[in-house]
């Protein structure tokens, strides 16, 4: 009898020193550090360094790394031209996928000018710029400057989006979400990036594969789908009725459940606290609706919210358009993807699994004129 390995569920597909997901007694860690400690005391840039270099940076290293990312934010004119020619109706994930690919033609890895770490830093720094240049050009015709004085990726993103620097609270809320999204072991997009790297393809191709994989609603796209759901309901009672109807129709409720976690997503508790905190400045509808959906899902399906569910309302409270939710995931996860590409390359073997054949038995071929 063959075990059901559809979706590679439960299959150990390789080794990593980057992250533990759902390990008994350990929980979610990045290179051994608990996610709760990182979110309480660290920053996205520190986490990106930790993932890519393996150790926590010293204060001097961190400040140099922030300055380095800040220096890598500008976009070549050829890339701006492409962003202007993309349709205004494009999904921002497609904008980043295309932007990544285009940058790979302008600043290729193979020309030996830049290391793999350089490419990773460049992409982390340039993704917010690509997204915001395209957004402002197509919504208001402005060719914005994609540089800012902001030292953090979070503040830079919010500054470019809103045209003014964020409050310290808003910057920290986005920064925490970037740390939570940075890495998660062999999830689908990371695995796609590792597969691409395992063929000895280039860094940009691996990140482009990962972006395309993240886009789907069963993966990164769930934060956008969760927002669409939450925003549909006028109040918690309407949400309860609506979700019960969806469950009766066997629809999936986006932002709930997980392939690895069975009881709880540790990232959800942290993001929920921030969503709750920022809901204080709103009329409270979205947060109350979210809490009711969570209660219904626990009661009816014993399912818990994953990171994407409360990230959705948090991002909404930060004034971020829904279609940019998954692109934020890209900006953050590029650090994790990069660390995995580097790890894959350090001990590479082509990733090429086998399959169980379920097609026809061997049979005789009849030429078309005799059929």
The residues that are catalytic are 219, 258, 308
Taking CB under 6 A as the rule, which mask of x and - marks residues 264-303 in contact with ligand COA?
-------------------------------------x-x
Closest approach of ligand COA to the CB of residue 180, in Å: 11
d(CA 313, CA 256): 14
Q: How far is CA 111 from CA 50, 107, 248, 317, 336, in A?
A: 27, 8, 56, 43, 24
Residue 185 near ligand COA by CB under 6 A: no
**Region of residue 211 (phi > 0: left; psi between -120 and 50: alpha; otherwise: beta):** alpha
350 phi and psi angles, rounded to 5 deg: -50, 130
Q: Which is nearer to ligand COA, 187 or 334 (by Cβ)?
A: 187
Residue 7 near ligand COA by CB under 6 A: yes
Q: Which is nearer to ligand COA, 177 or 198 (by Cβ)?
A: 177
CB-side exposure of 75: number of CA atoms within 13 Å? 29
Contact residue for ligand COA among 11, 218, 238, 244 (CB under 6 A): 218
What is the footprint of ligand COA within residues 308-347 (CB under 6 A)? 308
Q: Which is nearer to ligand COA, 8 or 40 (by Cβ)?
A: 8
Q: Which of 72-80, 145-153, 168-176, 255-263 is the region at the interface with ligand COA (rule: CB under 6 A)?
A: 255-263
Apex 119 CA angle, 182 and 91, nearest 5: 60
Asked if residue 190 lies in contact with residue 20, where contact means CB atoms within 8 angstroms, the answer is: no
Asked if residue 96 lies in contact with residue 330, where contact means CB atoms within 8 angstroms, the answer is: yes
Residue 230 near ligand COA by CB under 6 A: no
The dihedral of CA 157, 160, 162, 163: what is its sign? positive
Asked if residue 367 lies in contact with residue 43, where contact means CB atoms within 8 angstroms, the answer is: no
d(CA 30, CA 18): 6
Closest approach of ligand COA to the CB of residue 156, in Å: 26
Q: How far is CA 52 from CA 45, 121, 194, in A?
A: 11, 10, 15
Q: Which is nearer to ligand COA, 135 or 292 (by Cβ)?
A: 292
Q: Which is nearer to ligand COA, 52 or 253 (by Cβ)?
A: 253
Asked if residue 64 lies in contact with residue 147, where contact means CB atoms within 8 angstroms, the answer is: no
Q: Which is nearer to ligand COA, 46 or 183 (by Cβ)?
A: 183
First to last CA, the chain: 38
Contact residue for ligand COA among 49, 133, 191, 256 (CB under 6 A): 256
Q: Which of 55-63, 217-225, 233-241, 288-296 is the region at the interface with ligand COA (rule: CB under 6 A)?
A: 217-225
Q: Which is nearer to ligand COA, 7 or 87 (by Cβ)?
A: 7
Q: Which of 76-84, 119-127, 247-255, 312-320 is the region at the interface with ligand COA (rule: CB under 6 A)?
A: 247-255
Q: Tell me which residue has tokens 């009766």.
A: 248
Contact residue for ligand COA among 306, 326, 335, 344 (CB under 6 A): 306
* CA neighbor of 210 nearest in space, from 101, 301, 297: 101
- Number of Cβ atoms within 10 Å of the Cβ of 178: 24
Contact residue for ligand COA among 170, 215, 258, 333 (CB under 6 A): 258
Closest approach of ligand COA to the CB of residue 226, in Å: 7
d(CA 363, CA 168): 70
The tokens of 45 are what?
A: 């840039």
Contact residue for ligand COA among 39, 123, 154, 253 (CB under 6 A): 253
Residue nearest to ligand COA (CB): 257
Closest approach of ligand COA to the CB of residue 7, in Å: 5
Residues recorded for the chain: 371
Closest approach of ligand COA to the CB of residue 136, in Å: 29
Chain contacts with ligand COA (rule: CB under 6 A): 7, 218-219, 222, 252-259, 301, 303, 306, 308
């Amino acid at each position: 009898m063959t075990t059901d390995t559809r979706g590679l569920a439960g299959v150990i597909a390789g080794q990593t020193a980057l992250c533990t997901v759902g390990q008994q007694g350990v929980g979610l860690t990045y290179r051994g550090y608990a996610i709760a400690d990182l979110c309480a005391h660290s920053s996205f840039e520190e986490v990106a360094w930790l993932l890519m270099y393996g150790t926590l940076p010293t204060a001097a290293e961190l400040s140099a790394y922030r300055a380095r990312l800040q220096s890598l934010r500008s976009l070549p004119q050829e890339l701006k031209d492409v962003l202007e020619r993309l349709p205004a109706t494009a999904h921002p994930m497609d904008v980043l996928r295309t932007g990544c690919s285009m940058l790979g033609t302008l600043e290729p890895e193979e020309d030996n000018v830049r290391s793999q770490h350089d490419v990773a830093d460049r992409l982390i720094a340039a993704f917010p710029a690509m997204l915001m240049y395209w957004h402002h050009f197509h919504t208001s015709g402005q060719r914005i400057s994609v540089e800012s004085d902001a030292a953090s990726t979070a503040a830079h993103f919010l500054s470019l989006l809103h045209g003014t620097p964020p409050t310290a609270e808003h910057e920290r809320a986005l920064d925490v979400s970037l740390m939570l999204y940075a890495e998660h072991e062999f999830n689908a997009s990371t695995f796609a990036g590792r597969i691409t790297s395992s063929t000895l393809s280039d860094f940009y191709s691996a990140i482009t594969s990962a972006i395309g994989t993240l886009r789907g609603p069963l993966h990164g796209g769930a934060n956008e789908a969760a927002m669409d759901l939450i925003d549909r309901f006028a109040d918690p009672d309407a949400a309860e009725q609506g979700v019960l109807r969806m469950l009766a129709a066997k629809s999936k409720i986006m932002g709930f459940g997980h392939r690895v976690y069975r009881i709880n997503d540790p990232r959800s508790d942290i993001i929920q606290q921030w969503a709750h905190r920022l809901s204080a400045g709103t009329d409270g509808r979205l947060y109350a609706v979210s809490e009711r959906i969570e209660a219904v899902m626990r009661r009816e399906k014993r399912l818990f919210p994953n990171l994407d569910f409360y990230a959705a309302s948090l991002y909404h409270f930060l004034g971020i358009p829904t279609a940019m939710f998954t692109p934020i995931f890209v900006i953050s996860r590029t650090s994790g993807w990069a660390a995995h590409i580097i790890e894959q390359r350090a001990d590479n073997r082509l990733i090429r699994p086998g399959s169980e054949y379920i097609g026809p038995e061997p049979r005789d071929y009849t030429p078309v004129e005799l059929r």
